Structure 1
Amino acid sequence: MPSLSTTAIVCAVRHHGEHGAIIRLLTPDHGLLPGYVRGGRSRALRPVLLPGNIVKADFRARTEDQLAGLTVELAQSRAPLLAEPLPAVAIDWSCALTAAALPEGTPYPALHQALDGVLGAVEAAPAARGWAVALVRYELLLLAELGFGLDLTRCAVGGDTDDLAYVSPRSAAAVSRAAAVGYEARLLPLPPFLIEGGMGDWTQLLDGLRLTGFFLERSILIDRRADILAARERLVDRLKRAVA
């Protein structure tokens, strides 16, 4: 990718040297891409290079192996949301997850569209219930896109498609209420909104986050990437306090 001009979502920012920054952007057609922004720590660029913002990005590199130089122009700012506790942790987590989980340079158009939808929902919804469902669905999609999808279509034990109420932590497959009798404590609750659609109440939303969090931690957020789980813990903790 010697050169590329595209819109993109800012997912991660890391200071580099005294004045620069290395930015990781999720693009619609080229996936997650890094670039070096000269003066990225300046007063002018700091409000542009915030996770969740949408930028017009120009990548320039002499070779495909070289870290591209990057110039950015703000297209849409979500900076005001970062002053609000719940929206701030939702943006922080969803962008950090994307930056940590995705390999660079692999197109994930569905994930780009879904992340943009999550951030748009955080921006538009008056309360967390308006975007929490979108976030759970984004995490499920990310698991599926990376090869760790859950099978929520039928019971792993009997093949039933009705009354699916749990997920096996071993097989990542749904289990019906009847088949789960006696084993409920070993299984993860499956919130109805993941099967039937709709919003779900707070208990179901927290069950959804518990479900996706288990598989994200087991399959993706391992080794050096496990430290970003702190961002997710802050999110879940704030959601619990919001409904207490």
Structure 2
Amino acid sequence: MSILATPAIVCSLRQHGEHGAIARLLTPDDGLIAGYVRGGRSRAMRPVLLPGNSVAATFRARTEEQLASLTVELAHSRAPLHAEPLPAAAIDWACALTAIALPEGTPYPALHSALDGVLGAVEAAPAARGWAVALVRYELLLLAELGFGLDLTRCAATGDATDLTFVSPRSAAAVSRAGAVGYESLLLPLPPFLLEGGTGEWSQILDGLRLTGFFLERSILTDWRADVLAARERLVERLKRAVA
């Protein structure tokens, strides 16, 4: 029997049988792992297995092919955030994206660290602007880790590395202001904070979400439009209402 004890972030939970549940957790060193939690839908376990919670997880499996049994202990709860519509939408989306997009059993330590950072920012920030930029960067990193990264180093049309203001939806490469002349309406705005660091204005943050959302939908979430992307659309709409 193999046993893995590790810290992890709860990403998704679905019913399995009358009382059990299958949880997908993101671990620092072993990537996304699924496990069966006996009594996972019980009153005691539901608050522990909320998406975004940090847990101490123990997976036990007789073979590599077998779904592991999973026991968890709560390390850090983000349950109060699930009562707030905007933070709850952010957590639901970031965790759902992770659970759907990543192959199981492949290490992504940078993504684990980044997701933990996004969740921490949602928890700590007094306003959404404090964590929305982190969410855009997380989506951009996830695209890159899965082989669909954007090339934001130089203009696809002129070769310049300065004044990059757009991204080509066709090539996923940056385009400078000069290279975009006459084609602006066909390109996606590139928010400055993705090149310069720091935060951005709300209009730039929404541009960033539009940018990453386009490539996530095209390259990764092609079969999940109806349910998973609905969570992202709810988040974006709530952000728009919050800044209106």
Normalized against structure 1, the TM-score is what?
A: 0.99
Partner of 1:138: 138
2:237 alignment partner AA: D
Determine what percentage of the aligned residue pairs are the same residue. Answer: 83
Structure 1 position 3, deviation (Å): 1.2
Does the CA contact (< 8 Å) of 1:217 and 1:226 recur in 2? no
1:42-97 deviation digits (Å, cap 9, x = unpaired) = 11101000000000001001111100000000000000000011100000000000
Mark the runs of 5 or more structure 1 residues left unpaired by the alignment. none
Does the CA contact (< 8 Å) of 1:100 and 1:225 recur in 2? no
Secondary structure class of the residue paired with 1:75:
strand
For 1:124 and 1:226, the matched residues in 2 are separated by 31
For 1:3 and 1:25, the matched residues in 2 are separated by 15
Structure 1 position 224, deviation (Å): 4.3
2:57 alignment partner AA: A
1:181-224 deviation digits (Å, cap 9, x = unpaired) = 11000000000001111100000000000000000000000124
Normalized against structure 2, the TM-score is what?
A: 0.99
- Ranges of 4+ aligned residues in structure 1 off by more than 3 Å: none
1:41 alignment partner AA: R
Partner of 1:172: 172
For 1:224 and 1:170, the matched residues in 2 are separated by 21
1:46 alignment partner AA: R
Partner of 1:35: 35
2:198 alignment partner AA: G
Partner of 1:82: 82
Q: Does 1:71 align with 2:86?
A: no
Secondary structure class of the residue paired with 1:34:
strand
Partner of 1:114: 114
Partner of 2:62: 62
For 1:42 and 1:64, the matched residues in 2 are separated by 28
2:173 alignment partner AA: A
1:88-237 aligned within 5 A: 88-224=88-224, 227-237=227-237
For 1:234 and 1:8, the matched residues in 2 are separated by 26
Does the CA contact (< 8 Å) of 2:7 and 2:27 recur in 1? yes
Q: How many residue pairs align between the two structures?
A: 244
Secondary structure class of the residue paired with 2:227:
helix
Query: RMSD over aligned Cα, in angstroms?
Result: 0.9
Structure 1 position 226, deviation (Å): 5.3
1:132-191 deviation digits (Å, cap 9, x = unpaired) = 010000000000000000000100011101110000000000000011011000000000
Does the CA contact (< 8 Å) of 1:81 and 1:123 recur in 2? yes
Structure 1 position 228, deviation (Å): 0.0
Secondary structure class of the residue paired with 2:39:
coil
Secondary structure class of the residue paired with 1:42:
coil
Does the CA contact (< 8 Å) of 1:59 and 1:71 recur in 2? yes
Partner of 2:25: 25
Secondary structure class of the residue paired with 1:115:
helix
Partner of 1:16: 16
Does the CA contact (< 8 Å) of 2:217 and 2:225 recur in 1? no
Secondary structure class of the residue paired with 2:21:
strand
